[in-house]
Protein backbone atom coordinates (compact mmCIF):
# COMPACT_ATOMS: atom_id res chain seq x y z
CA UNK A 1 0.00 0.00 0.00
CA UNK A 2 1.20 3.55 -0.67
CA UNK A 3 0.77 6.59 1.52
CA UNK A 4 2.05 9.85 0.07
CA UNK A 5 0.82 11.91 3.02
CA UNK A 6 3.62 12.21 5.58
CA UNK A 7 2.88 13.09 9.20
CA UNK A 8 4.11 16.34 10.78
CA UNK A 9 6.67 14.39 12.82
CA UNK A 10 7.98 12.61 9.73
CA UNK A 11 8.41 15.96 8.00
CA UNK A 12 10.38 17.22 11.01
CA UNK A 13 12.60 14.13 10.92
CA UNK A 14 13.36 14.79 7.24
CA UNK A 15 14.33 18.41 8.02
CA UNK A 16 16.61 17.30 10.86
CA UNK A 17 18.36 14.75 8.66
CA UNK A 18 18.75 17.29 5.82
CA UNK A 19 20.47 19.73 8.18
CA UNK A 20 22.64 17.33 10.21
CA UNK A 21 23.27 14.27 8.03
CA UNK A 22 24.64 11.78 8.70
CA UNK A 23 22.75 11.61 11.98
CA UNK A 24 21.91 8.69 14.24
CA UNK A 25 18.44 7.71 15.39
CA UNK A 26 19.38 8.62 18.95
CA UNK A 27 20.40 12.13 17.87
CA UNK A 28 17.14 12.60 15.94
CA UNK A 29 15.22 11.49 19.04
CA UNK A 30 17.08 14.05 21.16
CA UNK A 31 16.19 16.81 18.70
CA UNK A 32 12.51 15.93 19.02
CA UNK A 33 12.72 15.18 22.76
CA UNK A 34 11.33 11.69 22.17
CA UNK A 35 12.60 8.17 22.75
CA UNK A 36 14.30 6.17 20.00
CA UNK A 37 11.56 3.53 20.30
CA UNK A 38 8.87 6.15 19.64
CA UNK A 39 10.58 7.20 16.41
CA UNK A 40 11.26 3.68 15.16
CA UNK A 41 8.00 3.36 13.09
CA UNK A 42 8.54 6.80 11.50
CA UNK A 43 12.14 6.01 10.59
CA UNK A 44 11.06 2.66 9.16
CA UNK A 45 8.46 4.32 6.92
CA UNK A 46 10.92 6.96 5.71
CA UNK A 47 13.64 4.42 4.91
CA UNK A 48 11.29 1.92 3.26
CA UNK A 49 9.88 4.70 1.09
CA UNK A 50 13.40 5.64 0.00
CA UNK A 51 13.24 9.17 1.41
CA UNK A 52 15.96 8.38 3.98
CA UNK A 53 18.87 5.99 3.70
CA UNK A 54 20.14 4.23 6.83
CA UNK A 55 23.75 3.09 7.09
CA UNK A 56 24.91 0.93 10.03
CA UNK A 57 27.19 2.71 12.53
CA UNK A 58 26.91 5.91 10.46
CA UNK A 59 23.33 7.14 10.61
CA UNK A 60 20.60 8.47 8.37
CA UNK A 61 21.01 10.37 5.12
CA UNK A 62 18.47 12.28 3.04
CA UNK A 63 18.28 10.73 -0.45
CA UNK A 64 16.58 13.66 -2.16
CA UNK A 65 13.56 11.56 -3.01
CA UNK A 66 10.04 12.63 -2.11
CA UNK A 67 6.95 10.66 -1.22
CA UNK A 68 5.63 11.49 -4.69
CA UNK A 69 8.75 10.10 -6.35
CA UNK A 70 8.21 6.94 -4.31
CA UNK A 71 4.76 6.61 -5.87
CA UNK A 72 6.32 7.22 -9.28
CA UNK A 73 8.76 4.37 -8.72
CA UNK A 74 5.90 2.10 -7.65
CA UNK A 75 3.98 2.89 -10.82
CA UNK A 76 7.03 2.01 -12.92
CA UNK A 77 7.14 -1.38 -11.21
CA UNK A 78 3.47 -2.22 -11.85
CA UNK A 79 3.17 -4.43 -14.91
CA UNK A 80 0.47 -4.33 -17.54
CA UNK A 81 -0.41 -7.92 -16.63
CA UNK A 82 -1.40 -6.68 -13.15
CA UNK A 83 -4.04 -4.23 -14.39
CA UNK A 84 -5.19 -5.42 -17.83
CA UNK A 85 -8.90 -6.02 -18.35
CA UNK A 86 -10.84 -8.43 -20.55
CA UNK A 87 -10.71 -7.41 -24.24
CA UNK A 88 -13.67 -7.32 -26.59
CA UNK A 89 -12.77 -8.98 -29.88
CA UNK A 90 -14.70 -10.02 -32.99
CA UNK A 91 -13.80 -11.80 -36.22
CA UNK A 92 -13.06 -9.55 -39.19
CA UNK A 93 -15.90 -11.18 -41.16
CA UNK A 94 -18.43 -9.87 -38.62
CA UNK A 95 -20.86 -7.41 -40.20
CA UNK A 96 -20.72 -3.74 -39.28
CA UNK A 97 -24.22 -4.03 -37.81
CA UNK A 98 -23.26 -6.88 -35.48
CA UNK A 99 -20.03 -5.10 -34.58
CA UNK A 100 -21.93 -1.94 -33.60
CA UNK A 101 -24.32 -4.01 -31.49
CA UNK A 102 -21.33 -5.58 -29.74
CA UNK A 103 -19.78 -2.15 -29.17
CA UNK A 104 -22.84 -0.87 -27.35
CA UNK A 105 -23.65 -4.07 -25.49
CA UNK A 106 -20.09 -4.23 -24.12
CA UNK A 107 -19.99 -0.44 -23.59
CA UNK A 108 -16.48 0.00 -25.00
CA UNK A 109 -14.88 2.65 -27.18
CA UNK A 110 -12.98 0.24 -29.44
CA UNK A 111 -13.17 -3.39 -30.52
CA UNK A 112 -10.22 -5.55 -31.49
CA UNK A 113 -10.57 -7.55 -34.70
CA UNK A 114 -9.10 -11.00 -35.22
CA UNK A 115 -8.71 -13.65 -37.88
CA UNK A 116 -8.04 -17.27 -36.90
CA UNK A 117 -7.60 -16.02 -33.34
CA UNK A 118 -4.83 -13.53 -34.18
CA UNK A 119 -5.02 -9.74 -34.02
CA UNK A 120 -5.55 -8.18 -37.44
CA UNK A 121 -7.12 -4.82 -36.66
CA UNK A 122 -9.03 -2.45 -34.41
CA UNK A 123 -12.19 -0.45 -34.98
CA UNK A 124 -13.46 2.50 -32.93
CA UNK A 125 -16.72 4.35 -32.36
CA UNK A 126 -15.51 7.06 -34.75
CA UNK A 127 -14.95 4.46 -37.48
CA UNK A 128 -18.49 3.14 -37.07
CA UNK A 129 -20.03 6.62 -37.01
CA UNK A 130 -18.15 7.74 -40.11
CA UNK A 131 -19.22 4.71 -42.11
CA UNK A 132 -22.82 4.72 -40.85
CA UNK A 133 -23.18 8.32 -41.99
CA UNK A 134 -21.68 7.35 -45.33
CA UNK A 135 -24.75 5.27 -46.09
CA UNK A 136 -23.13 1.81 -46.16
CA UNK A 137 -25.33 -1.27 -45.83
CA UNK A 138 -24.26 -2.19 -42.30
CA UNK A 139 -25.51 -5.77 -42.66
CA UNK A 140 -23.53 -6.46 -45.81
CA UNK A 141 -20.13 -4.90 -45.07
CA UNK A 142 -17.66 -6.85 -42.88
CA UNK A 143 -15.83 -4.95 -40.18
CA UNK A 144 -12.54 -5.88 -41.85
CA UNK A 145 -13.27 -3.32 -44.57
CA UNK A 146 -13.19 -0.31 -42.25
CA UNK A 147 -10.79 -1.35 -39.48
CA UNK A 148 -7.26 -0.06 -38.93
CA UNK A 149 -5.03 -2.96 -39.87
CA UNK A 150 -1.82 -4.39 -38.51
CA UNK A 151 0.96 -3.28 -38.40
CA UNK A 152 -0.61 0.16 -37.85
CA UNK A 153 -1.87 -0.79 -34.39
CA UNK A 154 -0.18 0.17 -31.15
CA UNK A 155 0.19 -2.85 -28.87
CA UNK A 156 1.75 -3.56 -25.50
CA UNK A 157 3.18 -6.70 -23.92
CA UNK A 158 2.01 -7.95 -20.50
CA UNK A 159 5.49 -7.59 -18.98
CA UNK A 160 5.75 -3.90 -19.87
CA UNK A 161 5.10 -1.28 -17.20
CA UNK A 162 1.85 0.61 -16.72
CA UNK A 163 3.86 3.80 -17.25
CA UNK A 164 4.78 2.61 -20.76
CA UNK A 165 1.11 1.92 -21.43
CA UNK A 166 0.11 5.42 -20.31
CA UNK A 167 2.81 6.97 -22.50
CA UNK A 168 1.58 5.01 -25.54
CA UNK A 169 -2.03 6.04 -24.90
CA UNK A 170 -1.01 9.71 -24.77
CA UNK A 171 1.55 9.72 -27.58
CA UNK A 172 -0.73 7.95 -30.05
CA UNK A 173 -3.96 9.64 -28.87
CA UNK A 174 -5.94 6.40 -28.53
CA UNK A 175 -8.48 5.32 -25.92
CA UNK A 176 -7.15 1.81 -25.42
CA UNK A 177 -4.44 -0.55 -26.61
CA UNK A 178 -4.45 -4.34 -26.86
CA UNK A 179 -2.25 -6.41 -24.57
CA UNK A 180 -0.73 -9.05 -26.81
CA UNK A 181 1.25 -12.24 -26.67
CA UNK A 182 3.63 -12.81 -29.56
CA UNK A 183 3.29 -16.14 -31.36
CA UNK A 184 5.68 -17.51 -33.97
CA UNK A 185 3.84 -19.08 -36.90
CA UNK A 186 5.61 -21.48 -39.25
CA UNK A 187 8.97 -20.32 -37.82
CA UNK A 188 8.81 -17.30 -40.11
CA UNK A 189 5.84 -15.11 -39.35
CA UNK A 190 5.04 -13.47 -36.02
CA UNK A 191 1.43 -12.93 -35.04
CA UNK A 192 -0.27 -11.67 -31.90
CA UNK A 193 -2.95 -13.08 -29.64
CA UNK A 194 -5.02 -10.53 -27.74
CA UNK A 195 -4.95 -11.41 -24.03
CA UNK A 196 -6.23 -8.16 -22.56
CA UNK A 197 -6.50 -4.42 -22.93
CA UNK A 198 -5.33 -1.27 -21.19
CA UNK A 199 -7.42 1.88 -21.52
CA UNK A 200 -7.43 5.43 -20.22
CA UNK A 201 -10.00 4.23 -17.69
CA UNK A 202 -7.55 1.54 -16.53
CA UNK A 203 -4.87 4.17 -15.86
CA UNK A 204 -7.31 6.53 -14.15
CA UNK A 205 -8.62 3.75 -11.89
CA UNK A 206 -5.06 2.80 -10.93
CA UNK A 207 -4.19 6.37 -9.93
CA UNK A 208 -7.37 6.62 -7.85
CA UNK A 209 -6.50 3.36 -6.07
CA UNK A 210 -2.97 4.58 -5.37
CA UNK A 211 -4.27 7.90 -4.09
CA UNK A 212 -6.76 6.23 -1.76
CA UNK A 213 -4.25 3.69 -0.39
CA UNK A 214 -3.09 4.13 3.19
The share of the chain scoring above pLDDT 90, in percent, equals: 49
Instruction: Give residue-wise pLDDT tens across range 153-172.
Output: 999 999 999 988 988 998 88
pLDDT tens sequence across 68-118:
556 666 777 889 999 999 999 999 999 999 999 999 999 999 999 999 999
**Strand 110-115 relative to strand 89-91: parallel, antiparallel, unpaired?**
parallel
pTM exceeds 0.85 for this model: no
User: How far apart are the two ends of the chain, measured CA to CA in Å?
Assistant: 6
Specify the pLDDT at position 27. Answer: 92
pLDDT digits (tens, 9 = 90+) for 56-65: 888 999 987 7
For 88-98, b/e burial (b = at least 16 CB within 10 A) is: bbbbbebbbbb
Please report which confidence band the pLDDT of residue 3 belongs to, taking 50, 70 and 90 as the band edges: very low
Residue 66: band (very low, low, confident or very high) from pLDDT cuts 50, 70, 90: low
Domains located in the chain, CATH noted: 8-74 (1.10.10.10), 80-212 (3.10.580.10)
Dump the DSSP string for 132-196.
Answer: HHTT--TTTSBGGGTSEETTSS--B-TTSBHHHHHHHHHHTT-SEEEEEEEEEETTTEEEEEEEE
Long-range contacts of 101-106 (CB under 8 A, 24+ apart): 103/128
pLDDT > 90? residue 49? no
Amino acid sequence: MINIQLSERQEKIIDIVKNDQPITGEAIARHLKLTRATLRPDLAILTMSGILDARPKVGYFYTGKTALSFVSEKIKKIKVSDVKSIPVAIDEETSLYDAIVTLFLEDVSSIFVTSDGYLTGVVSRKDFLKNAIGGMDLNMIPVGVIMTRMPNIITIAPEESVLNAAIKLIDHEVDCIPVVEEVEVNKKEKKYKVIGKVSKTTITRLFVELGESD
